[in-house]
Structure 1
Amino acid sequence: MKAAILSIGDELLIGQVINSNAATIGRILTEEGFKVTSVLSIGDDADQIRQAINDLLDSNQVVISTGGLGPTHDDITKQVLLGLFGGTWIQSPGQLEIIRSIFEKRGRTVSDLNRQQADYPSSSRPLINEVGTAPGLWFTRGDSDLFVLPGVPAEMKFLMENRIRPLLKEKNKGRFIIQRTLRTTGIAESTLAETIGPVSGFLPDGATLAFLPGFGGVRLRIMIAGTDRQWMTEQLNQIADFLIEKAGIHYFAEGDDDLEDVIVDLLTRHQQTLSLAESCTGGLISDRLTNVPGASAIYLAGLNAYSNDAKIKWLGVTPETLRQHGAVSAETASAMAAGIRQATGSTYSLSVTGIAGPSGGTPEKPVGLVFIAIATPSVLHTFRTIMPGDRRQFKERVSSWALNHLRECILNQLKS
């Protein structure tokens, strides 16, 4: 079955608000076996809203709209729908009670405008919103369903999960879409595609493979549509196993897990620890690691040694090393990693030093030059690269590059 997403609001068109709602709705529709044909964003314009809803209902079995259900003059969606589908206004006692409860908790009085949010056209069915003031609306036209939701992300998510998902399951009985997303890093999209080979050699009917590149690597999304869940699951797992084997060391996780999740898990399972000495990344690697629940079990300490004086005083980098090789060098990175590991007693340590730009580069050491060092129980590794991008992009890319090398060094150490 086909589905479309309609996002209503001037704020979406002028870039004031990022349309995260469409991504959530698209994911849920896909999980329930619907093929999303389009995502359309329009302004708060009555003619545009009418035209879009008519067009989308003509070519889709499900249309999900967000936005324009608020209490102010520019929230016109509900009024337009009353004119489009007909009927009269009815008040939802259940939604009105929720509105009163919300306002009572906030110590506020319910205004007439807020009471009107509980009104819905008699040509629709209300979808009670327990986390906000505006109910969702459910219209039907022939075999097609239109679901109209508030634009507030938390309210939209509640209604999608608790009201609309069960209706989608009922409407699309017997058909499923299942998927897995594999994470790779350290390999370009084109190189990964060449390594995997033609998809016709391993994808059965109803299966698709998408390459999704980003700063941290390339995601491989496998999707299979059909009616036999057991067969689909077996095929999905076979494809995933094939891709993981092809990707080799570049495969590191599945789903939403990132490099820091993998590293924390590896070190936790082997009761090992880590320390960091950062310079050009400004503590970003430490930030990423400490965002992982349970990181306190493996992460001992981190030092953001941005200046040469800090490198000398706290990490034991010698003035002679800095004079001869400079702050951005394999030698300084090595001394930083060794110094933080000795100071903390960690199993592993990682250091990073580089030139984020836009100034500070030379012909011998251009902007973007980075060195990292990783000290393990048996050896000290150094790595060099030149990383493009502005300062923020540089830091994000370097942090992923460094974490991936750390992951590989840990795996190699565990094998030895």
Structure 2
Amino acid sequence: MKNIQVEIITIGDEILIGQIVDTNSAWMSAELNKAGFDIVQITSIHDDREQILTSLGNALERADIVLITGGIGPTKDDITKQTLCEFFGTKLVFDESVYHNIERLLVNRKGVMNELTKAQAMVPQSATVIQNKAGTAPITWFEKDGKVVVSMPGVPYEMKQTMNFDIIPRLKEKFEASVLLHKTLLIYGYPESALAIKIADWEDALLSNLHLAYLPHYGIIRLRLSGVSDDVLTLELMMNQQIDKVKEILGDAVVSDEDVSVEELVGKILKKKDLTLATAESCTGGNIAHLITTISGSSAYFKGSVVSYANEVKTKVLGVSANDIEECGAVSKEVVEQMVQGVQQLLSTDVAVATSGIMGPDGGTDEKPVGTVWIAACYNGKVISRKFQFNNQREQNIERATQAALLMVREILGEEV
């Protein structure tokens, strides 16, 4: 089997001026990867004839498949259809089937059908037309010298629907792609360089069809092993053997052998044990609670949070001793342990976690510099607390403290999933 290569081109001035974020490419890459296709490049360009022609020509030199999103709307700045006609030496023609599809979509929307909307039914003559089930702009499929170019809408909902139900099935039918698998470990407690040194001998011994990637994110490193083969069973066995070897080397530093977020991992443990969780957050400002509640079904185990940013909230709501705040400071072992016990009692949960720190860039002292964070977790009568020293970047400190707090919940529960 051949490793089939795909390039994605997103068209739109709004992407390049930062007005919108290009989420289409990330989603498409993930879905194509699952289907066994290899993404070689992603390019974003203006609604500009020369850029479209040049980018498409270059892409076809690298890739077997080029997927284009955007630039096929009804307005004058949408020039992709006309430019594709120029590239493939064809012309726009009126397509009755596309027009009827537009009529069907607009049947209950009086006044929407106008000259510009009707012009959506003009399509490149040499292209295969795929009806857009969710919008008025049709999808066009071109073939040249055994390669495929597909132009589709940039509206995410429309693009996703046609990718799932039309484009990926057709690509799989036309191209026989190699099997492409990924296996991911979540690693905690190693800087990226130290991790690379630790597993250097193992990595150097990997076969040529296996590739390792280091994906660091706020204290967690995703170690992703990717493999390509014609035989899925052989590849699966080979990769599992390699994963077992590196897990032996890294021991407790392996947080999970699933490609999940830490908040998802903690949620799985809480659901499995039928336990509830609360957070008391000072320096993280509710970010732990925010991440927990991004997981569907988190209401089964998460009761709530007290964002005790001010000292009076720590004392009046969580029952922290004012004397301890005065003597030890709000960022201290004594205070954070009282915070975690206070929120556990207040919200009647099985488990709780609390944070207090100096996120910066201001507020640090010689004794407690910016980046100093105390975190405590409690469960089943046990309290663990730990001091962390992060850097002077506020956003990074919040994210690192959040990850550390979630991992301390996992630690006090004493179990992996």
Q: What residue number does 1:349 align with?
A: 352
Partners of 1:298 and 1:90 in 2: how far apart? 58
Correspondence 1:322 to 2:325: yes
| Letter of the 1:405 counterpart | M
Correspondence 1:365 to 2:345: no
RMSD of Structure 2 on Structure 1 (CA):
2.2
1:340-376 per-residue CA deviation (whole Å, 9 max, x = no partner) reads: 2233342222111111222222111222211111122
Q: What residue number does 1:3 align with?
A: 6
**Paired residues, what number?**
413
2:256 to 242, 253, 257: 253
The Cα shift of 1:109 comes to: 2.2
Structure 2: any 5+ residue segments left out of the alignment?
none
Structure 1: any 5+ residue segments left out of the alignment?
none
1:140 to 125, 140, 143: 143
The answer (yes or no) to whether the contact 1:31–1:176 under 8 Å persists in 2 is no
The answer (yes or no) to whether the contact 2:93–2:125 under 8 Å persists in 1 is yes
SS in 1 for 2:336: helix
Q: What residue number does 1:12 align with?
A: 15
SS in 2 for 1:117: helix
Correspondence 1:184 to 2:187: yes
Q: What residue number does 1:74 align with?
A: 77
4+ residue runs over 6 A deviation: none
The answer (yes or no) to whether the contact 1:68–1:151 under 8 Å persists in 2 is yes
TM-score norm. by structure 1 comes to 0.92
- The 3 A distance-change label for structure 1 pair 76 and 291 is same
TM-score norm. by structure 2 comes to 0.92
| % identity of equivalent residues | 35
- The 3 A distance-change label for structure 1 pair 254 and 115 is farther
Q: What residue number does 1:54 align with?
A: 57
The Cα shift of 1:107 comes to: 4.9
The Cα shift of 1:216 comes to: 5.1
1:40-87 per-residue CA deviation (whole Å, 9 max, x = no partner) reads: 222222122112222322342211122211111111110011122233
- The 3 A distance-change label for structure 1 pair 91 and 259 is same
| Letter of the 1:295 counterpart | S
- The 3 A distance-change label for structure 1 pair 73 and 218 is same
- The 3 A distance-change label for structure 1 pair 154 and 397 is same
Of stretches 199-208 and 154-163 in structure 1, the one that deviates more from structure 2 is 199-208
Q: What residue number does 1:340 align with?
A: 343
Partners of 2:97 and 2:259 in 1: how far apart? 37
Correspondence 1:234 to 2:220: no
Of stretches 272-281 and 72-81 in structure 1, the one that deviates more from structure 2 is 272-281
The answer (yes or no) to whether the contact 1:32–1:168 under 8 Å persists in 2 is no
The Cα shift of 1:135 comes to: 1.4
Partners of 1:116 and 1:37 in 2: how far apart? 34
Q: What residue number does 2:26 align with?
A: 23
| Letter of the 1:248 counterpart | G
- The 3 A distance-change label for structure 1 pair 35 and 348 is closer
Partners of 2:16 and 2:9 in 1: how far apart? 13
- The 3 A distance-change label for structure 1 pair 233 and 49 is same
- The 3 A distance-change label for structure 1 pair 355 and 18 is same
Q: What residue number does 2:313 align with?
A: 310
